[in-house]
Structure 1
Amino acid sequence: MRSGNESDWEPLLETDAKSSSSSRRPPAGSSGPGAGTCTTNRRDNKSHNQHHQEKCGRIKLGVLVALVFITFYLSLSTISIRPVVHQMVVTIPDDDEDLPGPRGLASPKVVFESSTNQIIPVIPNSMMTNNPRVVLKLQQPKHFSNDADDKTPSTFPSTTTSNATTNAVPKGFLVWGPGCKILDLDPLADDVMRLFHKEHFVPCSAKKPLTTIEQAMQTTTTTTTSSTKSTLENDTVVLRFHRDRIASHLPHYMKYIECCYQSIERSGINEKADNKFNLGECKYFSHDVLLPPNVTNGVMVRCKGSVSPTSKTRKSVYTNVHAFIRAKPAVQERLERFRDSYKQRPLSVLMVGIDSISRLNLIRAMPHTAQHLYDTGWFELKGYNKIDDNTFPNLMAILTGYNSTLAYDKCNPRKVGQLETCPFVWNMFTNSGYVTAYAEDEASINTFNYHKYGFVKPPTDYYLRPMALAAEKNLVKKTKNSLTMCLGYETYADFIYKYALDFATFYKDEPSFGLFWTNTFSHNDISDPSSMDLRIRYYLEQLDERGILNNSMVIFFSDHGLRFGAVRSLLTGWLEERLPFMFMWLPEWFKEQHPEAVQALKINRNRLTNPYDLHATLKHILELSERVDNLPAPFSCPNCQSIFQEMPWNRSCEETSIAPHWCTCSNFEKIDKSSKIVHEVLSYVIDSINKDLEDHQKNLTKKLCAKIQLKSISLAKVARYPDAAEPHTDYLLIFDAKPGSGKFETTVRHYTNRDQLKNPFEVTGSISRLNEYASQSECMHVDYLRKYCYCLRRKGG
């Protein structure tokens, strides 16, 4: 899909190139100063001819050099506005056209009223149809481009389709139903490709690490199967010392090296419980060493070099941190206790998440990864819509079924010891006999620690944070876009993914649940993920090679797309922020046992889904093992359900707890930015922001934040709902505020028939900040206020 002004770029460039070169070269036969001075038919004396030839040669050379510089300049200017030429195009499989059509044709509210406490809603027979003659009234889309001025569609003229008995979705849409229509945009559209460039992977170190970890696990073979069991008896961890690499780590004048390892343990208490670690006694070694059983989580290795064995001057030449998985008595006892009690084979769950990657940017920036997923039979949810702004609320919806408001009310993470009182799904898995793990990179912005106290007790059986803290404090770090790309000899993401592979491999024949999350190569830039494309594909391939896919449901996903930056001024940026990628793998035995789940996943590929549905699915997995039953639906979305069941075709954001601000189903049309109603709405928004800031500062001795004012309006769109139970109009607005030039996006609902005594306006969802604010808000420590606050007193200001 081409942007609205893209067709104007290339002809202009061609015209400029021709005029630039021709203006510096007089046409043949021209007259005037210098005309004909380089012809060869002048009749002068020999010396003059020789001088003339030298002069002509210099002129020709000068013209040639000028032309080279002009061509080089034009090529640079062309590169700056044209998309990357060598871009791999992902082949996306066609949607199944022979799937059965929609079952629910009436209002979803009727369906859900009878099933609000169930993970799997029961659709009454009265709402199902097998009549192929049923004709549904649908709406026809208008043309879309990625242009900023065409951010959302104008009116949908009504049309009629008789295709009610199939699940086909019209071309150009991801989701198509009465309650939701989501556009399918081109991930390689010219306007977004001007903002994207391919990043190449750069190794973190030219040196190979001096030490590595090797684990041995006993393989037991029966007449029919071969399996790996993790037991205390066969659990051995070897710290391998590569002496052949010593020379590359020692300066040329040093000949001796001395190394030791220290165990890493969690050591903090109360408010510092999640931010402290302890290093054990330094144990010296000079060869491979078998780590004792009491070294359970990880080790730090330090090596110092010297010119002689007795030298008092020693220099640090090597530091590294190794995290590993070892059998734990409490875990082994739990596994043994539940081993023979499952009525059905338990399905393991491995969740691998990457922050801030939309479905479209996965295809754009990580085409090898995307193609691997499509080629090897992973299920995709194309209509997976986030439910809130950033990582915390979207992951909490998955892990607890709570929205942000309920989470802060029931288990406030800003109060010490409260976070673990949330109903985390990993506790449900533990109580059902599973072993659990959680790991995340960039400790300072971890989901449960950024402006929060984190966990007083380890939330899972295996918890990487103490090792991550030790690594961040002691290893050489290399940053990219303000995040830690490299941690010692490997990327921070590699550190997480290797831990994930070790956990999943160690417990591949036991029921397990693991969540492994990365932020560092994706959070701040649209192009950065491209550098990790081949590495992510490698880790996905390793899941297969190690046999992990045989017993595990793997959920490969993101929380949202990029939330700020230039791409957010495009239509694709508006959609991408709200539509993260979501892929799932199911083992063959599970698909054979549950063909209805496979059928539902194929249908749900083009249905509206959200994080609450994923929460319900995780509970559904536990129910399928027949260890538990009647688990409640997500607390903040009683209407949401397991993706192993067909989603209602007429689903909408309203019935699935997605606020209008985050909903990608909305039908907006452009309106005049200078209209009276737009300014009334924005006046309400600005007043709301200032009131929130003032309420926080009431009891403070010094005012922290400046009062903000409207600076300019970039975009105004409207969607009208006159037939709603309470008629209303939604306004989508992008505006700049001062001081600080913050760029914001908001969706405001205007209740047109509301009593004059009531406020007719309501901000839906939260207000998005579209540009970075960094140090502007360093004085504010309340998450949702940081994006509004322009500190009156700033460092260096």
Structure 2
Amino acid sequence: MAEKECTQKNTRDVIKTMTFILFLTLFMFYCMGNETKDDYDCRQLENSSVALKNQTVILDEKAFKNGFTVWDDNCRIPNVSAFDDSVKKFVKKEKSPKCSSLPSVTSVILDVKSWTYTLKINKFYQNKADLNISCCYSSIHRKYLKSKRSFNDDDRYTIEPSCHPIKNSEIIPKTVEFMVVNCKIRSLKNPSKSTTRRNIHAMVIDKQLNRFSNLNGTSKPSVLIIAIDSLSRLNLIRSMPKTYEVLENNGFLSLEGYTKVADNTFPNVIPILSGMFVEQMIKTCWKSPKIEMDQCPFLWKNFKESGYVTTYVEDQSGMSTYNYNKYGFRNAPTDYYLRPFMVASEKLLPITKFNAMNFCVGSTPIAEHIYHYIEDFVSLHKDHGYFAVFWLNTFSHNDVNAPSSMDQKTAEMLTKLLTRNQLNNAVTFLLSDHGMRFGEILETYVGWLEERMPALYMRLPPGYTAKYPERRQNFLVNKNRLTSPFDLHLTLKNFLSEDEPLTAIGCITCHSLLRPVSVNRTCELAGIESHWCTCDAYEELDNNSSVSMTISQHVVTELNARTIKYKMNIKKGFMCSKLKLHSLISIRHKVNRPSEYLVVLETLPGHGKFSVTVKKINDTHFGVPGDVSRINMYGSQSSCTTDWNLIKICYCVRINELKP
């Protein structure tokens, strides 16, 4: 509905503009052919017409922007409202769950000048006259790697056997990067009654790294990437209004035509950080999910070679980008790497769940641990070159409304960094990998659009903008043009190097966003396959037509064919159940290419819902050329496989449970 209204509105605007231009042209011919005493009046009216024409252009531009985020000969993406009527029923504000009825037992405070941390026991416990509290800490390290390789190598950590007693406030040795604190709380009224409380802390320690100065970021600026998983631009506006306001009011620029190139997190992050599709990465440096990715050309290596301090942090160990059904890294990929801290915290502290995600460890939301770490890291490196990526999953991955639970804290964290002028040397990004991939909102056109169009905001350092004003202007021009993760990859490389040619293996036609993107760009030229492309208008078809049912049955046949193709990757004793069509939810075809269809259907067993792009080959044959989308959660239905070709399609059954 939103797309149709936008198209009709734009058509009316075009007709008005063409009528005005025709009138103006005829009038100019009249003036040129009548050199009389009326010439002055003609020139006056001509001048007025030019002024009116300029005004009309501005009004038409405004109307065009209101109607579409991207509008050119090859791509037209409607500018739908974040609060479109079709999604209102799915929208609500979420409150963050309460982590604990008691405050954290300890905290750590950074002194930037001396680069030291002080561990403090919370006064809540100190001031209790009837309690006695005694605490000690043990450091946590990334465990020494044995010669034998294990699939869990990246999860390794060790806790030192000693527990060092502390007073109410004590400076921590500068070598302690992660630590667990154990506190015993005794009742003075009843000495036999005691409880034990734990906490865990991560410190940005001085690793004696070579650092270069970049005070104002005019050359070789730092790069700070804060990523919130599964967050579309529209859902950022809708569920994180305070964060959105901070971005809009502090010089952040958005890309409203930014479109993902694959389904989930991993295949959308790999293009950003390596410039490759996953399939290309498999051929060049990562032969199997069972082996490490240490040899792959991630951008943090380029920055490290150029003298930058590097950091990678992700907030949930079990589903992190490089470890979910994958080996991860044999050696720490960056100078600062928080995986040992995250794995330890999830094992040592009680977990509070929120939308089936680990939201709290102990008394603190996991995201707050990460935000404190960001503040400390940036404070210590505000005058030095760094490349830092912080990836957050816990409050956004599983529910379209969940980001609202951390809106206040996210806005506060960004505001602190901005008001302290700690981002003046860094190109700062707030971005995502894709929009929400699950839920009923995906059955709407707006939800379909959001899933493909993640948020991306960038802020350039003031000094960099002053030196290269045209680059900021070019990025602003690209706001309403079709862009992709490959462009972002080349933009990051552009900040690193001014001279070397910028190319991405996965998209040789992509380029840095500090240059204007082609005004008539296609999805193919941006590295976006047809299934993820949002450039085309669609027309709804009759679900009950014979063509619709034929296409639907073909989709189910194709899904079953894929489970057979990859059956060797299913655990022994299991197989994928044969899927059957339960219902056709919707079907539409592209207006400009009627032979391409978008089908949403439900299958049995398991009630899996799929969104699939289908191409007509001839009157009786259809093809599914690319990936398919699973738009409701599969949970444990696919627990018999870790193959990403199967995991969203397969409904696992034990072979001996099948009826004869």
TM norm. shorter chain > 0.5? yes
Question: Is residue 720–residue 729 contact of structure 1 (8 Å, CA) maintained in 2?
Answer: no
Q: Secondary structure at the match of 1:661?
A: helix
| Counterpart pick for 1:710 among 581, 589, 610 | 581
SS for the counterpart of 1:274 is helix
1:263 corresponds to which residue? 139
| Alpha-carbon distance between aligned partners in 1 of 2:364 and 2:572, rounded to the nearest angstrom | 47
Unpaired segments ≥5 residues, structure 2: 22-52
Displacement of 1:144 in angstroms is: 5.6
Amino acid at match of 1:735: L
Q: How many residue pairs are counted as aligned between the two chains?
A: 612
CA apart distance, 1:553:
0.7
1:277-676 residue pairs with structure 2 within 5 A? 277-280=157-160, 281-295=162-176, 297-306=177-186, 315-329=194-208, 331=209, 334-335=210-211, 345-412=219-286, 414-624=288-498, 629-676=499-546
Listed as ranges, the matches of 1:116-127 within 5 Å are none
Gaps of 5+ in 1: 5-140, 146-151, 219-233, 723-727
Is 1:737 the equivalent of 2:603? yes
Preserved CA contact (<8 Å) 1:142 1:156 = no
Tell me the secondary structure at the aligned position of residue 304 of structure 2: helix
Among 624, 647, 654, which residue is 1:786 paired with? Answer: 647
Instruction: Output the CA distance in 2 between the equivalents of 1:316 and 1:544.
Output: 41
Secondary structure of the corresponding residue to residue 778 of structure 1: coil
1:183-217 deviation line (CA, Å, top 9, x unaligned): 11121223312111112345423433232112223
1:537-558: CA deviation from partner (whole Å, max 9, x where unpaired): 1011011133222111100011
Q: Aligned equivalents of 2:237 and 2:124: distance in 1?
A: 42
Matched AA of 2:173? P
Q: Is the CA contact (8 Å cut-off) linking 1:619 and 1:631 kept in structure 2?
A: no
* CA pair 303-414 structure 1, distance change in 2 beyond 3 A: farther
Structure 2 counterpart of 1:692, which letter? R
Q: CA deviation at 1:446?
A: 0.3
For the 8 Å contact 1:413–1:448, the answer to whether it is kept is no
1:762 to 623, 627, 636: 623
Query: Residues 600 and 610 of structure 2 are in contact (CA less than 8 Å); yes or no, is this contact kept in structure 1?
Result: yes
Query: SS of the counterpart of 1:608?
Result: coil
Taking structure 1 as reference, are residues 430 and 307 closer, same or farther at Cα in structure 2, changes over 3 Å only?
Answer: same
Which of structures 1 and 2 has the bigger CA Rg?
Answer: 1
Q: For the residues of structure 1 that align with 2:610 and 2:187, how far apart are their CA atoms?
A: 60
- Asked if the contact 1:155–1:669 (Cα under 8 Å) also holds between the matched residues in 2, the reply is no
Tell me the amino acid that sits aligned with residue 291 of structure 1.
I
- Which residue number in structure 2 is paired with residue 192 of structure 1? 87
Deviation at 1:417, TM superposition (A): 4.4
Task: Report the CA distance shift for 1:523/1:196 in structure 2 as closer, same or farther (over 3 A).
Answer: same
CA distance in 2: counterparts of 1:588 and 1:598, whole angstroms: 10
- Could you tell me how far apart the structure 1 residues matched to 2:286 and 2:10 are? 42
CA distance in 2, matches of 1:710, 1:158: 44
Question: 1:766 Cα shift?
Answer: 1.0
Which range is displaced more, 235-244 or 466-475?
235-244
* One-letter amino acid of the structure 1 residue matched with residue 509 of structure 2: N
User: What SS does the corresponding residue of 1:712 show, helix, strand or coil?
Assistant: strand
Residue of structure 2 equivalent to 1:240: 120
Q: 2:103 aligns with which of 186, 195, 208?
A: 208
Letter of the 1:717 counterpart: R
Task: Give the one of 548, 553, 568 matched to 1:678.
Answer: 548
Any idea what the Cα deviations from partners look like across 1:34-75, whole Å, max 9, x if unmatched? Answer: xxxxxxxxxxxxxxxxxxxxxxxxxxxxxxxxxxxxxxxxxx
Partner of 1:116 in structure 2?
A: none
Q: Note the C-alpha offset of 1:414.
A: 4.0
CA distance in 1, matches of 2:637, 2:247: 41
Give the equivalent residue in structure 2 for 1:750. Answer: 616
Q: How far, CA to CA, are the matches of 2:65 and 2:411 in structure 1?
A: 31
Q: Please say if 1:276 is aligned against 2:276.
A: no
Q: Structure 1 residues 520, 698: closer, same or farther in 2, change over 3 A?
A: closer
Counterpart in 2 of 1:177? 72
Structure 1 residues 408, 470: closer, same or farther in 2, change over 3 A? same
Give me the whole-angstrom Cα distance separating, in 2, the residues matched to 1:156 and 1:651. 25
Counterpart residue number, 2:5: 143
Deviation by residue 1:743-774 (Cα, 9 ceiling, x = unmatched): 11100222459xx9xxx643243111111121
Q: Report the CA distance between 1:344 and its aligned residue.
A: 6.7
- Tell me if structure 2 keeps the 8 A contact 1:716–1:733: yes
Aligned partner letter, 1:321:
I
Instruction: Report the residue type matching 1:143 in the other structure.
Output: E
Q: Deviations over 1:65-89 (max 9, x none)?
A: xxxxxxxxxxxxxxxxxxxxxxxxx
Residues 405, 762 of structure 1: alpha-carbon distance in 2 compared, 3 angstrom cutoff? farther
> How big is the alpha-carbon RMSD for the aligned residues of Structure 1 and Structure 2?
3.2
The 3 A distance-change label for structure 1 pair 299 and 444 is same
Query: Could you tell me whether the CA contact under 8 Å between 1:712 and 1:736 is conserved in 2?
Result: yes
Q: Secondary structure at the match of 2:168?
A: coil
Query: In the TM superposition, what are the counterparts of 1:34-49 in structure 2 within 5 Å?
Result: none
Distance across 2 between alignment mates of 1:492 and 1:564: 23
Query: Match for 1:777: what amino acid?
Result: S
- Closer/same/farther in 2, CA of residues 572 and 153 from structure 1, 3 Å limit: farther
The partner residue of 2:567 within 658, 681, 697 is 697
| Contact in 2 for aligned 1:215/1:235 (Cα 8 Å) | yes
Tell me which of 688, 706, 717 is aligned to 2:558.
Answer: 688
Are the equivalent residues in 2 in contact too, given 1:268–1:275 (CA < 8 A)?
no
Q: CA, structure 1 residues 692+315, in 2 after alignment: closer, same or farther (shift >3 Å)?
A: farther
Q: Which amino acid aligns with 1:681?
A: I
Give secondary structure in 1 for the equivalent of 2:624.
Answer: strand
Identity %: 35
Q: Output one character per residue of 1:314-366: Cα deviation in whole Å (capped at 9) or x when no partner.
A: 7443111110101112x2xx32xx569x9972201100010111111111111
**Secondary structure of the equivalent of 2:423?**
helix
For 1:714, the aligned partner's letter is I
- What is the identity, as a one-letter code, of the residue corresponding to 2:611? E
Structure 1 residues 541-576: Cα deviation after superposition (integer angstroms, max 9, x where no partner): 011133222111100011111111111111110111
Q: 1:721 to 1:183 in 2, by over 3 A?
A: closer
1:672 Cα deviation after fit:
2.6
- Aligned-pair CA distance for 1:242: 3.6
Q: Secondary structure at the match of 1:500?
A: helix
Task: Supply the AA of the counterpart residue of 1:211.
Answer: T
